[in-house]
Amino acid sequence: MLNRLLAIFLFACLAFAGVAVAQADSTVAATVPADTSAAESAEADPGEEAEEVPADTAFQGDPLVKGKTGIRSIDTLPVNEWDIPTKRNSLGLTMLLSLFPGGGQYYTEHYVRGGFITGIELLLVYEVYFNKSWQKDRVLEQAQPFRDTVSMYSKLIRETQDRDSIAYYQGKRNEYANRVREKSDKKMEQEDLRYAENAWLFGLHLYGMMDAFGIWYNNNYRSVELRDMKTALLLGLIPGLGQMYNGEFGKAGLLYMGLIGAAASIRTSQNMVEYYLDRKHFLEKENSSSEELDRVTERVTYYRKNRNQYIWGVALIYLYSLGDAVVDALLSDFDNPTHFALLPTLTGGAQALFTLDF
């Protein structure tokens, strides 16, 4: 299956390259006519010295040599604008400042990336450590009147001898006890959600640090040499190693963030499934109302569905990481200018040549 997908991808690349070459050939040939006036003037006055061609516009060597097109304006373009080299090149400062949200990106002058990381981390910090604590206190505050009412009816049941009154008090006590359980269920859900969000926060911070390291690495050791796809696939069996092999440390950080967050969400969802199953068995033994039993059964189904979705998510993230490692290795030399050359034609125009090695 992987070979078929790879063959389809390569066929699409070849087709796209052929169309691009054909369009470039026709367009450039039409828009770059030969300078016939200069040739006619040269023939008319052979004694006059020809104007010297500036060195900047002349071809510098063979345009088919790897890494060179012969055009200075093209050969001097940045290889990858996402990782433009900067003067701030200290690994120690990059990693030290990356301990703060977005600090490594700010130091290496990637302010947009740093701003996104800082904003998202601060929102998660507020949600996990402030908003969730406020919600917990609010739930406890709302449950306190119900808890007091349960205590009151329990006291009345102990003190009353009349059977009819005891039955009435027992019914009211059970009613308010169910309200207390609902608040307790909500508190448990919030605590498990807080645990999962904390894991996502940790994963995001790990991504920020690995992305900062990736900026430093590409600033010093970026290479456009073709990497081996088989090696990338084998290393990709261990999550993140395939991306690191390709020099994509930021992608490895994103992968780890997804896996850590999804694994924590699987654990919290399973905890809630077990919690509500215990509640369901307890209600069945107590012969509780069908309404309360249906509510608990619905929560069991809900968290089972969440758990299964995160399990599928982990599997898809893992498979995607394998495909990403292979494709990045396949296209590792795509930024190499050797794949593009602009050559003159015999008709006086110009033609663009595009090649893809694989």
Tens digits of per-residue pLDDT, 83-117?
566 778 889 999 999 999 999 999 988 888 899 99
260 and 164 both lie in a single domain: no
Domain contains 33: no
Domain contains 53: no
pLDDT in tens, 226-256: 888 899 999 999 999 999 999 899 999 999 9
| Whole-Å CA distances, 143 to 154, 156, 158, 177, 295 | 17, 20, 23, 10, 18
351, β-bridge pairs: 343
> What is the pLDDT, as a whole number, of residue 92?
92
Domain contains 36: no
pTM tops 0.85: no
What the block records as the tokens of 298 is 């619905």
Domain contains 73: no
Domain contains 251: yes
217 and 95 both lie in a single domain: yes
Listed residues 169, 202, 221: the one ending a domain: 221
Length of the chain: 358
Listed residues 189, 221, 253: the one ending a domain: 221
pLDDT in tens, 274-313: 999 998 888 888 776 678 888 889 999 999 999 999 999 9
176 and 291 both lie in a single domain: no
140 and 250 both lie in a single domain: no
> What is the pLDDT, as a whole number, of residue 292?
81
Query: Please, what is the Cα angle at 170 between 168 and 173, to 5 degrees?
Result: 110
217 and 231 both lie in a single domain: no
Listed residues 176, 204, 221: the one ending a domain: 221
| Whole-Å CA distances, 154 to 94, 176, 286, 287 | 63, 11, 17, 19
Owning domain of residue 151: 89-221
| Whole-Å CA distances, 351 to 37, 303, 344, 345 | 21, 61, 6, 6
243 and 332 both lie in a single domain: yes
103 and 208 both lie in a single domain: yes
CA–CA dist 81, 202 (Å, integer): 28
CA–CA dist 262, 316 (Å, integer): 11
H/E segment holding residue 340: strand 340-344
214 and 334 both lie in a single domain: no
Residue 160 one-letter amino acid: T
Domain contains 34: no
DSSP 50-82: PPPPPTTTS--S-TTSTT--S-HHHHTS-S-GG
Nearest to 354 by CA among 337, 329, 332: 337
